[in-house]
Amino acid sequence: PLQNPASDAEPCFPPVKIYLDYYYFFCKQPLRLVPLQRVCDGQADCAQGEDEASCAQRVPDGPRVGVRLSRDRSTLQVLDTVTGAWSGVCHDHFDLPLAKAACEQMGYSSLPAFRAVDAGGGQALPLREVVLSDGVLRGHPASGTPEECGESARAPRVLGGRPAAIEAWPWQVSLQYRKEHICGGSILDTSWILTAAHCFKNNPVVQSWRVKAGSRLLSGTATLAVEKVFLAEAAPASPKDNDIALVKLRSPLHLSGETRKPVCLPYFDEELHPGAPLWVTGWGYTREHGKLSETLQEAKVKLIDTRSCNLAAYHGDVTEKMLCAGLPQGGVDTCQGDSGGPLLYLHDRWQVVGIVSWGQGCGTPSTPGVYTSVQAYLNWIYTVPELQRGPRSCPPFRQRCAHESQGGRATFLRNRSGRKCFQEDGYSGTKNHF
């Protein structure tokens, strides 16, 4: 909902212009006013179509990404597109061009680093060598995040609903439409912000959006312009699904100090169990029917299994692409203005496992908050077309050589230096790690 238009106005602007700016879109040639509800509706009302030229873009899920990273020491895995089976990537003959191709498939463009890791007797997947074909790794595929992601300079408080330091949550941003805070978001890298799709439903003009980062306060610091907004394609059969969006900044965000850092995406095989401790942050209402908080707030909640969540409150509306989190007694929850912000889990580094999406009330008992499951949309995130060309830092590969028990066609050994694998029984190698 929009506040009084004059509240954020520059003093020199006439009241009539401020009113028009909030409720109408200006067509330039010829001059015409179009009501904002008709902007980005798929039908051009301006003679030159500018009312439909800079809208958020719906992006369907792309082809299955052929590479990913396992939670187990970030091992690189590759997909066999014929059989649909995943394999570990053998380190033998794995070189920089192959590493670069793997990173590019995940949307990264920087020069990667890699090394070997022990295969180990418990390795569940077979190891395969890979080749480069048409710029894509063939043999079997990966996903990942920058090595420096998810680092926090301060530990959060244990109690929820308390003021937070931006140093504890340096990836938290405010998404503002015409100077008004609408939603939260999370820094993925210098150019990309992760948030919720529903934030843009009533705020269609992309040029009117700004991103504020690096401060726990809503007011006072400079904001960054938005170039494009990408929304997951709507799901008519389940309208609350696909509540995820990526915001591309017009100019790269300067990551510096302790107040502006990226958060990690979850691994594809990250397992969260009911009762797992999670954190939510944002500037949303501190009580139902209240007002926005000027200072960033933090709260600790627990993961609630989907079945219990549906039985208690939501009658089947919570799908496998969503997460529930809260406290049974209520009192700690997200509220209006927190939408799009992160639901966070700490496993070595902070991961954004959920996006504040919807719920009933704010902090009422037995009605926990519902979040978009980021893990369910990793493939969508990595296949957003513009993301594939972004200046993202590729995750570093980790590796060393090791022994794997005999039982297949290969035996993997480590020499004394721990740096080089050698062949026995006709085959050798180690897994590649990011």
Cα separation values, 123 from 24, 120, 154, 214, Å: 60, 6, 36, 42
Q: Exposure of 8 by Cβ count < 10 A (0-12 exposed, 13-18 middle, 19+ buried)?
A: middle
425's torsion region: left (phi>0), alpha (psi -120 to 50) or beta?
A: left
Q: Pick the catalytic residue: 243, 293, 333, 338?
A: 243
- Cα(241)–Cα(261) distance, integer angstroms: 28
Angle at 53 (CA atoms; ends 50, 58), nearest 5 degrees: 150
Residues in the chain: 434
Angle at 74 (CA atoms; ends 72, 78), nearest 5 degrees: 100
Q: Pick the catalytic residue: 140, 181, 198, 433?
A: 198
Cα separation values, 32 from 19, 45, 48, 55, Å: 15, 9, 11, 19
Contact between 331 and 270 under an 8 Å Cβ cutoff? The reply is no
Q: Give Cα 251 distance to the centre of its chain.
A: 19
Q: Is 181 a catalytic residue?
A: no
Q: Pick the catalytic residue: 87, 174, 208, 339?
A: 339
Q: Is 243 a catalytic residue?
A: yes
Q: Is 198 a catalytic residue?
A: yes
User: At a CB cut-off of 8 Å and minimum separation 6, what does 251 contact?
Assistant: 224, 225
**Rg over CA atoms, the chain:** 24
Active centre residues (catalytic):
198, 243, 339
